[in-house]
Structure 1
Amino acid sequence: MDAKQTHKAHRVHKSGASAKKKLQANNRKNAEKNNPKAFAMQSGQKADRMARRKAELNEKKYHVPMADRTPTIPPPIVVAIVGPSQCGKTTLIKSLVRRYTKHTLSEIRGPVTVVSGKHQRLTFMECANDVSAMTDMAKVADLVILAIDASFGFEMETFEFLNLLQTHGMPKVMGVLTHMDGFKDNKSLKVAKKNFKHRFWTEVYDGAKLFYLSGVENGRYLDREILNLSRFISVVKLRPLAWRSSHPYMLADRVQDLTDPEVLERNPKANRTVALYGYLRGTHMKGRDRVHIPGAGDYQIDQAETLPDPCPIPDKERKRLDERHKLIYAPMSEVNGVMYDKDAVYIDVKKPQHEEKAEEGEGEKMLSELQKVNAITERLASQQFNLFSGAQPVTAESIRRPAVFGDEAGGSESESESGGEGNASEDDDGESAEESEDESSDEDEEPAPVDYRAQRIAARAAEDSAIGVGAEDDDDDDDDDILRRVDASSGSEDSDADSDANGSQIERLAPIHTGAKRVNLMDLVYGSASASASKPKAKGGADDGADNVKSLAFTNDLDIRELYRHFITNPDESGDEEANPGAAAADYGEDATGDFVDLEAESGDDDDEAGSAAGSAAGDSDSDSENEEEEEESEAELPEENKFGLSSEKMKKLKSKFDKIYDAEADDGEKKDFYQQQKEELQSYVDNTRNEMAELADINYRWSGEYVKVVIEDMPYEFMQGFNPAMPVVVGGISNEEGLSLINLRIKRHRWYPKILKTGDPIVISVGWRRFQTIPTYFMNDRIKNRMLKYTPEHMHCSAAIYGPYIQPGTGFCAYFLKRMHSFGIAGTGTVLENSQSIDIVKKLKLTGYPDKIHKNTAYIKKMFNSPLEVAKFEGASVKTVSGIRGQVKKAAGSAGMFRATFEDKIKISDIVFLRALHTIPIKKFYNPITSLLSVTYMRSIAEIRRSKNMAVPNKQDSHYKPIARVAKHFNPLVVPKSLQAELPFKSKPKIIKTDNTSRAVVMDEHDKKVSDLIGKINLLYKDKSKKKREKDTKQRSEYKLKRQAEEAEADSRRKKKRKTFFRKEGQHQRGGKSGGSKD
Structure 2
Amino acid sequence: MTGKFKHRPGALKQSNKAHKTGRHRSKGAINLAAKGKTNVKEVTRHTKKEMSKEVRRNQCQQLRKKKRDEVIALKRNFGSSLAPPILITVIPLHQDISTQSIMSMLTEADEAAAVISNNQGVTHISIPRFKQRYSIIVPPIGNTFATLDAVKVSSTILFAMSPMDLSHISSQHNLIDSWGEEIIEACISQGLPSTVVALTNLKSVNIKKHHELKQVSQSLINKWLPEEKILSLNSAADALNLLRKVGSQKQRKVAFRDKRPYLLAEDVEYCSGENKVGTLKISGYLRGVPLSVNSIIHMPGLGDFQLSQIDASSDPYPITNSDSSKGINVDEQIRILEKADPQKQESLESENIPDPMDAEQTWPTDEEIAAADAERLRKKTVKLVPKGTSEYQAAWIVDDNNELSGDDYSDSDEDDDNDDEKMSIAQTQSDIENSDKEDMDDNEEYETLTVSEAPNDDNRYDDQMDIYEELESMKKLKDAKLDAHFPDEIDTPQDISARIRFQKYRGLESFRTSPWDPQENLPYDYSRIFQFENFDRTRKRVFKESEDIEGAMPGWYITLHVKNVSEEHFKAFKKLEDAPLILIGLLANEHKMSLLNVLLKRKHDIDAQPIKSKERLIFQCGFRRFSACPVFSEHTNGSKHKYARFFQPNDTVVASMYAPITFPPCRVMCYKKQNYGIMELVASGHVLSVDPNRLVIKRVVLSGHPFKVNKRSAVIRFMFFNREDILWFKSVQLHTKYGRRGHIREPLGTHGHMKCVFDGQLKSQDTILMNLYKRVFPKWTYEPYLLTSE
TM-score category (smaller protein): 0.5 to 0.7
Distance 1:891 1:287, change over 3 A: farther
Q: Deviations over 1:394-439 (max 9, x none)?
A: xxxxxxxxxxxxxxxxxxxxxxxxxxxxxxxxxxxxxxxxxxxxxx
Match among 158, 161, 165 for residue 180 of structure 2: 158
Identify the residue that residue 83 of structure 2 maps to in structure 1: 74
Q: Structure 1 length as normaliser, TM-score?
A: 0.41
Identify the residue that residue 126 of structure 1 maps to in structure 2: 138
Match among 93, 106, 124 for residue 113 of structure 1: 124
CA contact (8 A) 2:629 2:781 kept: yes
Match among 130, 134, 141 for residue 154 of structure 2: 141
Distance 1:199 1:911 in 2: 53
Deviation for aligned residue 1:197: 2.4
CA contact (8 A) 2:115 2:124 kept: no
Matches within 5 A, 1:152-231: 152-183=174-205, 185-213=206-234, 222-231=235-244
Q: Which secondary structure state, in structure 2, belongs to the residue aligned with residue 286 of structure 1?
A: coil
Match among 596, 601, 612 for residue 759 of structure 1: 612
Identify the residue that residue 667 of structure 2 maps to in structure 1: 812
Distance 1:807 1:908, change over 3 A: closer
Q: Deviations over 1:446-478 (max 9, x none)?
A: xxxxxxxxxxxxxxxxxxxxxxxxxxxxxxxxx
CA contact (8 A) 2:199 2:233 kept: yes
CA contact (8 A) 1:67 1:240 kept: no
Match among 735, 741, 757 for residue 587 of structure 2: 735
Distance 1:865 1:188, change over 3 A: same
Deviation for aligned residue 1:777: 3.3
Q: Deviations over 1:199-224 (max 9, x none)?
A: 224421335242232xxxxxxxx433
Distance 1:858 1:102 in 2: 91
Distance 2:740 2:189 in 1: 52
CA contact (8 A) 1:756 1:791 kept: no
Deviation for aligned residue 1:824: 9.4
Identify the residue that residue 256 of structure 1 maps to in structure 2: 269
Q: Deviations over 1:120-148 (max 9, x none)?
A: 22111112221111221221110111122
CA contact (8 A) 1:139 1:165 kept: no
Q: Deviations over 1:865-913 (max 9, x none)?
A: 4667754553322224678764313566777666564445797999764
Q: Which secondary structure state, in structure 2, belongs to the residue aligned with residue 817 of structure 1?
A: strand
Distance 1:341 1:277 in 2: 14
Amino acid at match of 1:206: E
Q: Which secondary structure state, in structure 1, belongs to the residue aligned with residue 769 of structure 2?
A: strand
Deviation for aligned residue 1:252: 0.7
Q: Structure 2 length as normaliser, TM-score?
A: 0.55
Distance 1:246 1:340 in 2: 32
Distance 1:67 1:809 in 2: 29
Contiguous gaps of at least 5 residues in structure 1 = 1-61, 214-221, 314-320, 328-336, 346-688, 938-1080
CA contact (8 A) 1:753 1:824 kept: no
Q: Deviations over 1:9-40 (max 9, x none)?
A: xxxxxxxxxxxxxxxxxxxxxxxxxxxxxxxx
Match among 745, 767, 770 for residue 624 of structure 2: 770
Matches within 5 A, 1:51-70: none
Q: Which secondary structure state, in structure 2, belongs to the residue aligned with residue 81 of structure 1?
A: strand
Match among 531, 549, 559 for residue 709 of structure 1: 559
Distance 1:756 1:747, change over 3 A: farther
Deviation for aligned residue 1:311: 1.7
Deviation for aligned residue 1:721: 1.4
Identify the residue that residue 89 of structure 1 maps to in structure 2: 99
Identify the residue that residue 780 of structure 1 maps to in structure 2: 634
Deviation for aligned residue 1:286: 0.8
Distance 1:856 1:145, change over 3 A: closer
Matches within 5 A, 1:875-914: 875-880=730-735, 886-890=741-745, 901-903=756-758, 913-914=768-769
Deviation for aligned residue 1:854: 8.8
Distance 1:903 1:752, change over 3 A: closer
Distance 1:904 1:238 in 2: 64
Deviation for aligned residue 1:859: 6.4
Higher strand proportion, which one? 2
Of structures 1 and 2, the one scoring higher in RCO (CA 8 A, sep 6+) is 2
Amino acid at match of 1:208: K
Q: Deviations over 1:946-983 (max 9, x none)?
A: xxxxxxxxxxxxxxxxxxxxxxxxxxxxxxxxxxxxxx
Distance 2:118 2:321 in 1: 26
Structure with higher Rg: it is: 1
Q: Deviations over 1:578-601 (max 9, x none)?
A: xxxxxxxxxxxxxxxxxxxxxxxx
Matches within 5 A, 1:290-301: 290-301=296-307
Deviation for aligned residue 1:93: 2.1
CA contact (8 A) 1:863 1:897 kept: yes
Distance 2:239 2:738 in 1: 79
Amino acid at match of 2:580: P
Identify the residue that residue 436 of structure 2 maps to in structure 1: none
Amino acid at match of 2:144: V
Distance 1:195 1:805, change over 3 A: same
Distance 1:164 1:883 in 2: 46
Matches within 5 A, 1:288-437: 288-313=294-319, 322-324=321-323
Q: Which secondary structure state, in structure 1, belongs to the residue aligned with residue 203 of structure 2?
A: helix
Distance 2:698 2:633 in 1: 9
RMSD between aligned residues: 4.1
Distance 1:226 1:920 in 2: 60
Match among 699, 704, 707 for residue 849 of structure 1: 704
Q: Deviations over 1:635-673 (max 9, x none)?
A: xxxxxxxxxxxxxxxxxxxxxxxxxxxxxxxxxxxxxxx
Do residues 930 (structure 1) and 785 (structure 2) align?
yes
Q: Which secondary structure state, in structure 2, belongs to the residue aligned with residue 162 of structure 1?
A: helix
Distance 2:620 2:310 in 1: 27
CA contact (8 A) 1:114 1:326 kept: no
Amino acid at match of 2:296: R
Q: Which secondary structure state, in structure 1, belongs to the residue aligned with residue 297 of structure 2?
A: strand
Do residues 835 (structure 1) and 690 (structure 2) align?
yes
Do residues 233 (structure 1) and 246 (structure 2) align?
yes
Distance 2:131 2:292 in 1: 27
CA contact (8 A) 1:749 1:756 kept: no
Distance 1:338 1:890, change over 3 A: farther
Distance 1:210 1:900, change over 3 A: same
Q: Which secondary structure state, in structure 1, belongs to the residue aligned with residue 180 of structure 2?
A: helix
Distance 1:67 1:779 in 2: 47
Contiguous gaps of at least 5 residues in structure 2 = 1-67, 165-173, 336-543
Matches within 5 A, 1:460-499: none
Distance 2:741 2:195 in 1: 63
Distance 2:208 2:184 in 1: 30
Q: Deviations over 1:771-799 (max 9, x none)?
A: 12222333334546533334445445443
Q: Which moved more, 1:714-723 or 1:784-793?
A: 784-793
Q: Deviations over 1:975-999 (max 9, x none)?
A: xxxxxxxxxxxxxxxxxxxxxxxxx
Deviation for aligned residue 1:839: 2.4
Identify the residue that residue 457 of structure 2 maps to in structure 1: none
Distance 2:328 2:568 in 1: 27
Q: Deviations over 1:923-953 (max 9, x none)?
A: 344322211xx2116xxxxxxxxxxxxxxxx
Distance 1:105 1:739, change over 3 A: closer
